[in-house]
Structure formats: C-alpha cells, structure tokens
Amino acid sequence: MKTLCYHCGEIVPNGLNLSLKIEQTQQPMCCIGCQCVAQAIVDNGLGEYYRFRTAPAQKGEPLIPEQLQRNKLLDDDDLQSEFTYKTDDYNEAILTVDGISCAACAWLIEMQLIKVKGLININVNATTQRATIRWDNNNVQLSELINRIAKIGYQALPFKASTAEQLNKTQSNNYIKRLGISGILMMQVMMIAFGLYFGAFSGMDEYNLIYLRYASLFLTIPIVTYGALPFYKGAINALKIKRLSMDVPVAIAISLAFSASAWATITQQGEVYFESVSMFTFLLLIGKFLEFRARSRAAEVSANLLKLMPMTATKLINEDGIKKEILVPAKKLCPLDIVLIKPGEVVPADGTIISGSSQLNEAMLSGEQLPLNKAVGDIVFAGTINGDGNINVEVKHPSEHSFLSQLIRLSESSQAHKPKLAKLSDKIAQYFVAVILLTAIGTALYWHQHLPEEAFWITLSVLVATCPCALSLATPTALTCATTRLNREGIMIKSAHVMETLPKITTIAFDKTGTLTSGDFSINQTQLFDNEHYKYSEQQVLSIAAALESYSEHPLAKPFKLFRDYSYTTEQVEIKSGFGIQGKVNDKYYRIGKPQWLLSDTNKSTEFETASCLLLEDNELIAAFYLTDEIREDAKNLLGNLKKKNIHTIMLSGDHAVGCNKVQALLHLDEVHCTLSATDKMAIIKQQPNGSTIAMVGDGVNDTPVFGAAHISIAMGSGTDIAKSGADVILLNNRLKSVTTLTRVASKTRRIIWQNYLWAFGYNAIVLPLAVAGFITPYMAVIGMSASSILVITNSLRLLKK
C-alpha cells in the first residue's frame, strides 16, 4: 500500500524515509519542502491545524534567494504606495494568499503571524483567499510577514483586482464548460432512457436494447469523468486528511451507480441507471456552480469598488498668476490640491466643492440610484461619477485614505468571519455525512441477507436521496442573499453576528445630532461680545471658528466651514472629544465648544444653555453661535414602528435640555438623557435591565466608546471616518429608516434559515426510512435530492425581494 504525505497528501516516493513527529506520532513526508513547512507549523505550536483542516495543504516549497529578494522589494515605499494604505500609526494591505483550502488554513496563517512584534491585526478570508494585514513599519517589514507566511506553505502577494478577476473568470469558464458538456450529454442520455422505457413495454428486440444501453454508457463516460471531477477531487482531499465532506457520499454514489450500470450493460444482466447518474451529476454541478458564484460575488464586492478609482486626475496649478491644468496620477494627489472634474469623469479623491455645481451618482457607495445635487461647500467622494457640470474640488482625503478605500478594507474584513449559524451548519453537515455512510453500510448488509439482487440499488438510493446538499446550503445561501439585498440598499454589515443578534433586540438607543436629526446645521444667529483689547466683527469670529472647526468631522462643524478664510492659519490644534476644539489662530489662543466646558461659572453656563457653541479668546468670551437642525423626515415613522414591536427607545445626547425637549416633543421616545459625555452614555447603556439586548445608533463621530457597550452598533454613513467608528453596521445611504429595513431583513433571514433547516432535516427524516426500506429507486432519489436543494435555494432567494 502506498504511503501518503501527511502534509500535502501526495504519494511518498519509494525508499524515501522522511518523517516528522506531530502530536506524539511520527508522520510521513514526501519531500524536504513539506517537512520544513510542517516543522515550522509544529515549532510555532500550531500542530492542531492538522486536526481541524478539511483539505490537504499545498506541497511545501523552501524559500529560495530569488523569492526572498522579490519579497524584499515589496518594502520599497514607491512600490508599496500602489497597494498599501498608510497612516501615522500603521500600514495596511490586502494580500492574495495562494493555497488556502479551508478555514483551518486561514486560522493557521493568522496564528503564524499573530505573535510577530509589530503586527497590529490580521484577518484571513478563506472564501476569497485574501488576507488583510495591518502592521507597524517601525517594528516589522512587509517582506518579513510574507516570508513567515511562506514558511508554512502559502504564497502571499499584493492583491490586484485584475489578477483576481482573471482567475475568477478562468474558474467560472471551467464550471460553465463542465455544465455545458454534462447538460448536453445528459439530455441525450435522457432521450435514450425514454426509448428504453417505452421499448420495455412495446417489446423492443434485444439488439436495439443492447445498442441503446451502450450508447448511454459512452455518453455518460464524459459526465462522470470530466463533469464530476470536482466531486472526486473534493472527496479524495477530504479522505486524505481523514475528514468527511459532502463530496464523499456524492463521489461514492456517482462511482457506484455508473460502475453498476456499466457492468449491467457489459454482462447484459440487471438494470441500468445512466439517466439517473447523468441527472444527479448535472444537478449537483449546478449547485456547485451556484456556490462558486456566491463565493466569487463576495470577492467581487471589493474588486468592483477598486475599479471605481480613476488612474489619473486633472490638477489645477497656478504658475506666474496663470491657471494651468496638468494630468497627474490620482494616487499622487495631496490634501489642499485643487482638481477639476469634468462631466462624466470619476472623482479621484474625497474633497469639498469650491466652485461649480453638478449632479453626482453615488450608487456604488450608498445604493442611491438617483444623482444627487452638489454645490459649493458640499463634500464629494472618490469613486462617484460627475454629471453634467464642471466642478473644482479641494482634496481632503487622497485615494488611499478616501471613503471608498475604507469601504474596500471593511468589505474584505467583514467577509473574513463566519457567523455562528454558518459554523454550526458546517459541523452538522460533517456529522450527517458520517451518519449517511454508516446507514448505507447497514442497509447494504441487511438487504444482502434478505434480497441480494436489490441490495446494491437500495444502498445507492440511500446515498443519493439523503445527500446533505440542502443542509449545507441552508445557511450560506440565506446569508449571501440577505447581505446582497442590504448592500443594494446601502447597508453594510461589518460583523458576522449581526444577523443572529438583531432579531433579539429589546432596546435601541439613539444619538440625537446627526442621527435623529439631519445633522445639516445652519448658523441661525451669531451673538458678539465686546473684548477689552479688540472688537471683533461677525465675519472675523466666523473665520476664526471655521479655522478651528476645519479639524472636526462633527456635524456642528460643517456650517462653519463655509466661512473658511485661508489667511487665518492654525497651529497646536487639539480636539477635546465631546466638548470642543482649542488651538492657535494667527498666533492667538482660542477655544470653541460647549458652554459647560468653556464656562466654569455654572450660572453663566446656564445663561447660554440654548447656544450651540461659544468662542473664547484665551478665557474671554467673544461670540456665541446659535445653530438650527431639522429632525429627520423618517425619524417619526421609525420610532412608531419600533413602538409597535415593543422595542424600548432611548435618546442619549450631549446637547442641552432645550434642544432635546424639542426632539422629544415630536418623537416621543421612552427615555431622554441630555448633556451627556461619552462616559455617561456608556454608563446608561450598561445600566439597562439584565436580559436586555441593546442596539446603539449614532453618527460614528464621538460614539465609538458607546458602540462598544452595546450588543449591536449602527453608524450613519454620512462621510465620517467609518473605519474608526467601530460600528457593526454602517448605513451608507445615511437614512434612518434603514434601521427598519435592517431589522426586518435580519428577522426574515433568521426565519428562512430555520425554515431551510426544518425542510432539510424533515426531508431526510422522511426519505431516509423510505430509502432504507427499498421504496425509493435511484431515479426517484435523484429527483428528491435535487428538489430538496432547489427548494432551499429558492426559499433563500426570497430575501432578495423587497
């Protein structure tokens, strides 16, 4: 008997005596490469990988000098700028990792790097075969991380959308070829089967009977060899590592059914089931292709977003008083650069319109299909498409720091985690396969004693009819459809547990500003105060405030930015989260923020409680600003729907009581808390009764600590730094009513998953005893198994409908 390599599953050459002790047992190795890789895995305390993997690893290849040199080149700053997102604190990149075959591979790679000094975070997505890594360049180089991945047998390279798309296209074409050939030949076999059925009743002569059987045999050979090849590979890989996958009973059923039918044809004894084998293989291939499309669709999300980013941009420069247009790489744009965006062009960076107006299409970012009107002062995002007007945009965030880049990174990160329901489905399916195989063996033994001539076909019916395809599809198809539906509507799911936790929500807490209200403030009144040294004009205090507020993403800062005057320079600016901003403007020290922060005198603070913010020079009050904000149009309907569902509602606001009471008078929340700091909000969340499941909805600016205290956090995606919000869900469409859509889809998803499970288990509970008892023929088993899987897929597809 041939010995198989414990690491890669390939045959160990005769006479080669390489082995390695893994978990107290000497295991054979086929080459030095596999031995080195396995040794690295064991030395790092990761030997349990071999217990949990569901497919063999790639053949190990030792690192050669050329590879080391190539990897070292990836540390070059110019080269890294093409694929790396950089901040002052860390670098982040998406890598394509070749050789990942299962979740255990993803775990192994994460464990191999997790203890490396300088690595901040790593998420490996087994579905898309990509790794998102974040590291500190001062402590570790990218080449070192890639080399460590290579030591355990995986090849990592920077992710390129074009390369991934080409690989995806090749795999898709292979599936389509298999489906096309299998489908055409299956129809021919089915036509012959009708001839055999009717011929049996009309007395067909033996010569024609044999001829038609041989025709079916030769037509079925390409189906069970070329068409069914993915199932054989999957089964062999699983058995090599002593695991049971869905492919095992499928491969056994196809092989046995074809072999028995071929034997019956050659010996001219017994029944043939070529049509059942052909149909079984074809229908399973359809399922395999649909599964592949679901996985590739998940990978395409970030790839499609990457395609939105333009390669070049038209930069406006001033040379000797003459304005010129120059074409530059979009990646070379810097903050404060001015770019011209012509009709039909794609915006190359996040920024603010400083001249012109147009309509921009943000469909890929927010799900909003209608173009949005944009004018001076409005924010535009990289990847959006300009309409019919010329606009000049001042760059705020270059492409690698843009809202679109954040979406791409979040999309990769969110796909890297499986929810508990999906993990449970995988585990149940694995045990179910074992039950099927044991039942099939028992069935074969029983019928061999009582009716030997039918034992084989009854056993085959058991294998086919009870194939756990529907069970394995129950959760992933529903989750894929739900996520696709939400993405279309501008709702991004970041955390795997969202769909499971949302239906259990009993309490929802809302921030006020930018959440229950629109966050589109306007300055209603500016009140000036005499300064003993200098008398400020309204324009001057607005310009000073604008200079400081330009550092803030808070909704209150937006109306001030319209008064930005670049002759007012800033330095030593410090943001006091939840309170305000302080810093020097034209060499004078100013503070702007909440009255209770700026005025130590409680009575004086109360005097200005209706003011949105105050401006002080040193400690002297020079202006008070009164801003107005409108309640969102969809807030009242949302609160009404939540009350109907008996969900407790709370408003947590840092605003004064007057502003909170105005909102409460219209929305009628169950609880209202005002003048809160982030710490106060956290305390209120934690004080909710035991057994409460709490969701927090905020604008993502100052709510990050509060998000961590809630079971689910939802951020309004109005263009803030969504990567830092820490939210589980981001409403990219910036619509509050999407909370209703989210809860409804989550509840429906959970219901459909349990319906799928009920059907899958119910079907097998009914069919298994009937198949064991011999009441189901192989042909009926094929139809039943296929109908079961199609029903599960169709049921899940209901989630795509509004």
3-state DSSP call for residue 509?
strand
pLDDT of residue 602: 46
Q: 738-772 vs 778-797: helix axis angle to the nearest 10?
A: 170
> What string of DSSP letters covers 488-500?
HTTEEE-STTHHH
**CA triplet 530, 532, 535: central angle to 5 degrees?**
45
What are the structural domains, with CATH classification, of the chain?
A: 1-50 (no CATH), 65-159 (3.30.70.100), 160-307 (no CATH), 522-628 (3.40.1110.10)
pLDDT of residue 577: 73
**CA triplet 330, 335, 341: central angle to 5 degrees?**
50
pLDDT of residue 724: 45
DSSP 515: I
Ranges in the chain, pLDDT < 70: 1, 52, 54-55, 58-69, 82, 101-104, 127-128, 160-168, 200-201, 240-243, 291, 294-308, 363-370, 407-423, 425-426, 531-533, 600-606, 700-705, 718-726
pLDDT of residue 655: 78
**Other beta carbons less than 10 A from residue 350's beta carbon:** 25
- C-alpha 461/C-alpha 770 separation (Å) is 10
- C-alpha 142/C-alpha 75 separation (Å) is 6
**CA triplet 627, 631, 635: central angle to 5 degrees?**
155
pLDDT of residue 419: 62
251-280 confidence digits (pLDDT tens): 888 888 899 889 989 988 877 888 888 888
**Other beta carbons less than 10 A from residue 119's beta carbon:** 20
| Strand-pair partners of 715 | 698, 730
534-574 confidence digits (pLDDT tens): 788 899 999 999 999 888 877 788 888 888 888 898 898 88
- C-alpha 428/C-alpha 159 separation (Å) is 34
Burial class of residue 197 (count of CB atoms within 10 Å of its CB; 0-12, 13-18, 19+): exposed
- C-alpha 39/C-alpha 36 separation (Å) is 5
- C-alpha 255/C-alpha 460 separation (Å) is 10
3-state DSSP call for residue 386?
strand
- C-alpha 97/C-alpha 49 separation (Å) is 17
The edge-to-edge listing of strands for the beta sheet with 350-356 is: 322-329, 312-319, 338-341, 391-397, 350-356, 379-380
Structure tokens at 260: 């028995």
Q: What is the pTM of this model?
A: 0.64
